[in-house]
A and B are shown apart, each in its own frame.
Chain A
Amino acid sequence: MQVLLQTLIGGITFGAVYALVAMGFSIVYRTMGLVNFAHGSVVMIGAYAASTFYMATRLPFAVAMVVAIVVTGLIGLIIERFLRPLENKDFTLMLIGTIGFGAVLEALAILIWGATGHAVPNPVATEPIDLGGVRIPTYSLLVIGVAALATALLALFLQRTKTGAAMQAVAMDHEAATACGIHVGRSNATAFAIGACLAAVAGSLIGPMLYVNPTMGGTLGIKGFAAAMLGGFGSMPGAIVGGMAFGLLDAFAAGNFQEYSELVTFVVFAVVVMIRPMGIFGEATVNRA
């Protein structure tokens, strides 16, 4: 029982981060129909930005996180601006463009921070909470809390604000949205910026849990992407459920299948996607290509 609960805690903590990464993938996809392959690298830049400001300038962790959000938000806008001339012209080139941006960001990180990476001290250095032998690190609670807050803010934005509604409209039918006077380019830019901000939140949260280095985006990107697929690509609730499911799947596979855990995780993923190609929340996905 203790093992089960402890596994659950690890799975949920990492699941929350995967959910944030998956949401970043999904918000760009639902608005533009584009998979942003640079997303993993943006998470990495977010982790670097937050940890650097936190460690070097001794800013409080929350402030460092905000700085990281601004930095990566700008990167998101820049990527979108570069890709905009291709919008509605060549979809494949846009995809390759995002892959290229991923490589550029990785190279930039090596130029700025070096290839070796650094460990980030835990910002909430208190003893874990002990609940009948099950230990919950306080940092895990912070991660889950911040992830939930980011999700709630995003939901509010999409449903309650005019820009959010405009983005939903573009996602549904961009031609009709244009006819209604919605600036599609601006809407895409907002999607990219929000995606990048989510990446920064994920990156800054994962920093103290892992080791920040230029290639950390690879695994996180793949896990987040798979989580988004699992939940239903383009669906926000799907991204959250997919992320959580992936975190838990990973955690339980590690405990039960030892060195074959990764294999088991991705086999389960493949089977689910085969049975439900649209993912768990299989809403009719956007296809704007």
Chain B
Amino acid sequence: MRITLVATALLAALTACAPPGQSGSTGTQASGPIKIANINAQSGQLSSLGQWENKGVKLAIKEVNAAGGVNGRQIQLDLFDDQGDPTVGTNLARKIAAEGYIAMLGTAESAVTLAMAPILKDAKIPNITSGQSPKLAELKSPFLFLNAPTSVTFDETLAKYLVDEKGYKKIALISNNGAYGSGEHDAFLTSLKTRRVTPVADEVVTPDQKDFNANLAKIREQDPEVLFIGAEEVQSGLIAKQARELGLKAVIAGGAPIGTDVYATTAGLPNAEGSIVSSPYLSNEASDAIKAFAAKYKTEYNEDARMHVAKAYDGAMIMVEALRATGGEGGQKLADAIRAVKRDGLLGAYTYDEFGVGIHETKIGLVKDGKVVPEAAS
């Protein structure tokens, strides 16, 4: 009893003489701007993704700040370039933790987000990422949220369309062994297995590979009806181009990268024609909300909106909604608030599950003249 009393007295004394800086820092959390970090590749081969994501986030935060911010506080959004490199990403994760950012938006690369997740979890910084690898969901980090479905959803929808609706049976796979590619590979293979379809070929390449003649020639021998590509935009485009040069007639199918103009121009428009894409965001005309968003985006940046800017915008808006609920507070409270957000976003209805996944369905589209059109309308 006595010891407790002494301890309490000591504790009280200690808190009383806490250094001024310490009490000051807890004080600034309730006023002044809310610091949010946006980490995305601004240079390197994946920089197109990073720049789109950043533009979407910037647009959302600009709107929020113009409308008075979060409970009267402005949001300070700072951009950091991870160069698409996991090592740079982990350094940045430590940096934003040290500099008092309470939330993180990005990155566009699953591999980078995977590397950063443990650090952000320890620092209790909620992160809404644009990555789509199922590995992100498998982490089950309470501080990691996705602004898009994972490959599992993309590929389940795709397999359902290709096998159940179109009746294709001879399907060949080509994917890279990076974080995104292997996620696509595993997810699509699982979806095929549940439909009792065994792929006629299953080629794995490296993310840096440029020459696919050997892999595609092996695939061509099997004469598949469908060629599934699990790779990022540029590599998907190169594979499609070389596949057509080899005379492969198979329908090309894949996830979100197939829906980008980077894919279409890298492949060459005639080679990309008719590619099947599974995506929650097919075009800028899909709904009235999307049309309004696309128009806003066009006036802001003088370029067309796309899925990557839309989901980054959705993610930023979810973060803002959660911040409003916590009154600008971060940490565990903010993570719980994000999990509680129910938002009718541009990509669909967001309801977060225990894996941090908010969107649970995608749609099927076709590439026509380098643009994606919904399957039903074609």
Contacts and interface: CB of A to CB of B under 8 A. Distances in A.
Interface of A: 2-3, 6-7, 9-11, 13-14, 110, 115-119, 121-122, 128, 130, 135, 137, 209-211, 213-216, 219, 247, 250-252, 254-256, 258-259, 261-262
Nearest 4 pairs of A and B residues by beta carbon: A10-B213, A255-B214, A6-B217, A119-B265
Nearest to B202: A258
Given A135-B247, A211-B45, A254-B206, 14 more contacts: A6-B217, A14-B210, A115-B47, A119-B234, A135-B245, A210-B234, A211-B237, A213-B47, A215-B44, A215-B45, A251-B214, A256-B214, A258-B205, A259-B204
Contact of B43 (A10, A214, A251): A214
B342 interface: no
Nearest to B270: A125
Nearest to B177: A259
Contacts of A259: 176-177, 204-206
B203 A135 contact: no
B214 A3 contact: yes
Q: Which of A119, A215, A261 has the most CB of B within 10 A?
A: A119
A214 B205 CA distance: 23
14 contacts: A7-B217, A115-B47, A117-B45, A118-B265, A119-B268, A121-B265, A128-B246, A210-B210, A211-B266, A213-B47, A254-B206, A254-B209, A254-B212, A254-B215
A243 to B, nearest CB: 13
Contacts of A214: 43
Contacts of B242: 10
A14 B218 contact: no
Contacts of A121: 265, 268
A251 B213 contact: yes
Most chain A C-beta atoms within 10 Å of own C-beta, residue among B206, B209, B268? B206
A119 B209 contact: no
Nearest to A214: B43
A216 B51 CA distance: 18
Nearest to B50: A115
Interface string B261-289: 01001101000000000000000000000
A270 to B, nearest CB: 17
Nearest to A209: B210
B179 to A, nearest CB: 13
Nearest to B210: A210
A257 to B, nearest CB: 10
Contacts of A135: 245-247
Contact of A261 (B206, B237, B238): B206
A11 B42 contact: no
B155 to A, nearest CB: 19
B177 A6 contact: no
Contact of B245 (A11, A110, A137): A137
B351 interface: no
B344 interface: no
A122 B217 CA distance: 21
Interface string B122-139: 000000000000000000
Contacts of A14: 210-211
B242 to A, nearest CB: 8
Nearest to A130: B247
A164 B216 CA distance: 44
Interface in B184-229: 203-206, 208-218, 220-221
Contact of B208 (A9, A13, A213, A262): A262
Contacts of A254: 205-206, 209, 211-212, 214-215
Contacts of B208: 219, 262
A6 B246 contact: yes
A247 B209 CA distance: 11
Interface string B145-177: 000000000000000000000000000000011
B136 to A, nearest CB: 21
